[in-house]
Amino acid sequence: MKIYEFQKNALEKVIIEITDHYDKNYLNIRVWFDASKGQNIDWKPSQKGITIAADKLQELLKGLKLAEESLKKDEKQLSLPEPEKKETEKKKEYAGSNGEIPF
């Protein structure tokens, strides 16, 4: 049973589904690709993905939450270097209110 899907890029999408095998439920998160080669869209499952027993869902959610928190923390710590200032901007920093360099 398909639960959710989202487009990964122009040729791939991720599908999250619940499947059962021998009366046991599994969570399947898999990348699907368009195998149509420009014809009618023909989505096929790739080897990229994960299938886990449904009773491990809480462990997966715990790991994903930790990953999310880590990424948010890293975003705050990451800072891009300031772009190099042009020579005229550097002069203005040292200039008086009239824009002239005081020496």
Q: What is the pLDDT of residue 92?
A: 56
* Contact predicate 17/1, CB 8 Å: yes
Per-residue pLDDT of the chain (103 residues; tens, 9 = 90+): 999 999 999 889 999 999 999 999 999 999 999 998 778 889 999 999 999 999 999 999 999 999 988 888 877 765 555 666 666 555 555 555 555 655 4
Rounded-to-integer distance, Cα 82 and Cα 67, Å:
28
Q: What is the pLDDT of residue 97?
A: 56
Tell me the domain boundaries of the chain. 2-77
Closest by alpha carbon to 44, among 10, 16, 15, 21?
A: 15
The verdict on pTM exceeding 0.75 is no
Class of domain 2-77: mainly beta
Q: What is the pLDDT of residue 75?
A: 73
Q: What is the pLDDT of residue 98?
A: 59
User: Which segments within 1-103 are labelled E, that is strand?
Assistant: 2-7, 12-21, 24-34, 43-53
